[in-house]
Structure 1
Amino acid sequence: MKTLPTGESVVYDRVLRARDGIPMDREQRKKRVALLSVFSNATLVALKLTVGLAIGAVSVLSEAIHSAVDLVASGIAWYSVRTSGIPADREHPYGHGKIENVSGTVEALLIFLAAGWIVYEAVGKIIRPEPLEMASWGAAVMLLSAAVNTAVSRKLFQVGRETDSVALIADGWHLRTDVYTSTGVMAGLGAIWAASHVAPGVDLNWVDPVAALGVAALIVKAAWDLTRRSARDLLDARLPGDEVARVEALIRNHRPVVKGFHQLRTRKSGHFRFVEFHVKVDPAMTVEASHRITQELAGEIRGHFPGASVTIHIEPCDGSCSDRCIEGCLLDEAQRGSASARREAGGAPPAG
């Protein structure tokens, strides 16, 4: 197989992306926002760990671990969006899109492990309670963490949805979960600080480990949802119902030239969609005309789903609907009745 020089390869890749309707800067946008997540998480891990150790707050330390998991997840997301954009090659003819689904599964596993550690530490704190010092510091750090992660997760969701990136959306959910848990920890530490000033005799130190258990419960829920989303595409589940309906509508728009369709199969790999189906046309149609129909259909599908890989198989249709294509038959009742009469009279056999 001929290998293009580096410069020509880059140009060729750009031509392919332009043909498939993929914006030139989409991959760069994904990389930039993934890198932003890495830097913000690294900063928050250092800050939470320092303050958590200083004041002895297990809820703050649990949040530091949560942010450390977010940091690893962000690194995985950054790697996956870099890799998923690599064009198909000889060893990977369907591209590298599934690396994003794999990264989502790995991120979910990391969250489960972090939740286990948080529960272990929190239960130990409940059994052997220790007084907290400088709870206001912990509350301040949680407020800063919630603000930073709100801004970064909003950007991850925006770019992730615009580019249909599983990895970025998963990373966004990591940080959005951190926002919720940071807010809960902040409320708990704020209550402890307020009690120490307003009602010194009231012991609310138990709020800290209980808040940590709440953190664990929330991130386990996030991990479970992320696992389900990632596994769906790894198992080649079909596209969502509304997307399949859109493909079917585009095919039906070509009646009466297209007389029927069947074996419509769809799947997703990262942000890439794969669509394949058989269409039935007039047996007398030339190869050139039938090829033109497939090109038009594929172009329309890519217009709605940029970058989609579309495979269409042409079959002749004599008007007799076989069991395998009856659901996609575009003939009216009169044409079907005429076909049935021909079959009963010993006419042309079914094409399918």
Structure 2
Amino acid sequence: MVWDRKVRIALLSVASNTILIILKVTAGMLSGSVSIISEAIHSGMDLVASCIAFFSVRHSAKPADKEHPYGHGKIENISGIAEGLLIFVAAGMIILEAIKKIHTPMEIEQAYVGIAVMVGAGIVNLLVSGKLCRVAREEDSMALEADALHLRTDVYTSLGVAVGLVLMKVTGLFILDPIVAILVALFILKKAWSLCKSACDYLLDTKLTDPEEAEIDKILGKYHDKFRDYHKLKTRKSGNMKHIDFHITVDPHVTVAEIHEVIGCLKKDMAEEFKYTRVNVHVDPYREEQSE
């Protein structure tokens, strides 16, 4: 089943984040580096985000029911907002801690341990986020996309902290540690804003993208000889499900069986173009006064 694949990859993210938190906290305590501690906080938020993604992909896979006739897909959009807000909180905590360290910079002990952990964390998150991105793209899952974004930012921030630690060892400027932490937080904030905006767009039933609607128009154009025109096109997205609604104008002499076959072909073509699609077609009779 499709949801089994999504759940498995979400569990992989939970496991990797748990291990990385343990390593980062240990390295942070040994070195006293605020940038490493900030990364541990970041990974803590990543772990919460991974758990949210895990539960949301399981819940979103439930079929439509009497109370939720359009399915449960929007739980993934809600989880995307929750994960974005978690990133904002993590960034705020990092900035506050870094500001304290700017006023009282501390020498970093056992910096090489911190460097090794940060580089290792970056590599692990690069591999896991790559898998998450691939599955999120193939299954059109916002929850997994949000989780992948968390881990991808962790790649950049972990490597950024490692570079900062190297520079501190070379220059002896320990104030670089909190400065790097603040840069990490600002980078995270930018990604969080992008994630929240995207999730909110889908919750507010923003239409599909222009290229997607162009594909819909192209498919409808294939059947232009079967009906007079189409109008009132409305599109939206719920989770990974794309909802497409439109009206077609049909000549009075066309039978119900004929137009039913045309609609079936339209739905089939759209399902082939868009992996998860629900199409609703309303038939309008053509009247002579319409042409006047």
TM-score range, shorter chain: over 0.9
C-alpha displacement at 1:312, in angstroms? Answer: 0.3
Tell me the equivalent position of 1:262.
Answer: 231
3-state secondary structure, aligned to 1:250:
helix
The reply on whether 1:279 has 2:248 as its aligned counterpart is yes
Measure the CA separation in 2 of the matches of 1:247 and 1:144: 45
2:44 is equivalent to residue 75 of structure 1: no
Paired residues of 1:136 and 1:193 also in contact (CA < 8 A): no
For 1:144 and 1:267, the matched residues in 2 are separated by 41
Pair 1:320–1:163, CA change in 2 (3 A): farther
Per-residue deviation at 1:319?
5.5
Q: Contact 1:51–1:60 (CA<8 Å) still a contact in 2?
A: yes
CA distance in 2, matches of 1:193, 1:306: 52
1:126 alignment partner, one of 88, 95, 102: 102
TM-score, scaled relative to structure 1: 0.81
Are 1:105 and 1:231, in contact at CA under 8 Å, matched by a contact in 2? yes
Who is 2:275 aligned against?
A: 306
Letter in 1 for 2:239: G
**Which residue does the alignment assign to 2:167?**
191
Residue in structure 1 matched with residue 80 of structure 2 by the alignment: 104
- CA shift, 1:194, in A, is 3.2
Higher relative contact order (CA 8 A, sep 6+): 2
Match of 1:172 in 2: 148
**Secondary structure at the residue paired with 2:217?**
helix
Distance 2:275 2:61 in 1: 14
Question: Is 1:229–2:198 an aligned residue pair?
Answer: yes
Q: C-alpha distance in 1, partners of 2:289/2:89?
A: 58
Q: Which amino acid aligns with 1:87?
A: P
Partner of 1:43: 19
Deviation of residue 320 (structure 1)? 5.1
Instruction: Give the drift of 1:318.
Output: 3.4
How many residues align? The count is 292
SS of the equivalent of 1:88 reads coil
Equivalent position of 2:133 in the other structure: 157
| Structure 1: unaligned runs, 5 residues or longer | 1-24, 196-202, 322-338, 341-352
Q: Match of 1:148?
A: 124
- With normalisation by structure 2, the TM-score equals 0.97
Structure 2: runs of 5+ lacking an equivalent:
none
> Does 2:273 correspond to 1:297?
no
Partner of 1:85: 61
Looking at structure 2, the residues matched to 134 and 277 of structure 1 have their Cα atoms a distance apart, in angstroms, of: 65
SS, match of residue 186 in structure 2: helix
The answer to whether the Cα contact below 8 Å between 1:112 and 1:220 also exists between their aligned partners in 2 is yes
2:215 to 246, 259, 264: 246
Larger Rg: 1
CA apart distance, 1:106: 0.2
Larger % of helix: which? 2
Q: Secondary structure at the match of 2:206?
A: coil
* Separation of aligned partners in 2, 1:234 and 1:213: 32
Quick check: 312-321 or 249-258, which moved more? 312-321
Per-residue CA deviation, residues 188-208 of structure 1 (Å, 9 max, x unaligned), is 11122234xxxxxxx310110
The 2-side partners of 1:257 and 1:140 are apart by 66
Q: 2: distance between equivalents of 1:320 and 1:177?
A: 60
Which residue of 2 is the match for residue 116 of structure 1?
92
C-alpha separation between the residues in 2 aligned to 1:262 and 1:272?
22
Structure 1 runs (4+) deviating above 3 angstroms are 318-321
Once the two structures are superposed, what CA deviation does each residue of 1:289-316 show, in whole Å capped at 9, x if it has no partner?
Answer: 2222212211211121123111101111
Q: Please give the secondary structure, in 2, of the residue aligned with 1:312.
A: strand
The verdict on how the C-alpha distance between 1:185 and 1:319 changes in structure 2, with shifts beyond 3 A counting, is farther
When the two chains are superposed, the root-mean-square deviation of aligned CA atoms in Å is 1.1
Identical pairs, percent: 47
What SS class does the counterpart of residue 121 from structure 1 fall into? helix
What one-letter code is carried by the residue in structure 1 that aligns with 2:76? E
Q: Aligned partner of 2:28: which letter?
A: G
How far 1:103 sits from its partner (Å)?
0.3
